[in-house]
Amino acid sequence: MKDIVETANAPAAIGPYSQATTFGNLVVTSGQIPLTPDGTLVEGGIEAQTRQVLDNLVAVLEAAGTDLSRVVKTTVFLADMNEFAAMNAVYAEYFQAPYPARSTVQVARLPRDVRVEIEALAERH
């Protein structure tokens, strides 16, 4: 059975999607962008935006009954691959070994012209 995950500790969905869904012990998050829970866009460079994205991801995962240690896969979307090292440094502050699998791709454009978006697959406790 599929369940919807919603939390006020992360920005609300701005379209016809959910912050995350669960199916059994699997949690699938929507891509998180650097909006605060009240919907304010975080200004600044890739570091500040990545930090907010990961804070949002933490909040959504907690609402689903899991945490970053249970993430098995992430996908990172970057507006500019030249910002990979800076994003990766912040990412490394949030994830510890054993690290989840990850794909990182540069895209032509992200919602609200942000620098980064991250989605995750995790196992619930």
Q: Which residue has the tokens 């070994």?
A: 97
Chain segment 78-94, per-residue pLDDT in tens:
999 999 999 999 999 99
Computed on alpha carbons and rounded to an integer, the radius of gyration of the chain in Å comes to 13
pTM (two decimals): 0.97
What value does the mean pLDDT take over residues 36-52?
A: 97
The distance from CA 83 to its chain's CA centroid, rounded to whole angstroms, is: 17
Average pLDDT, the chain: 97
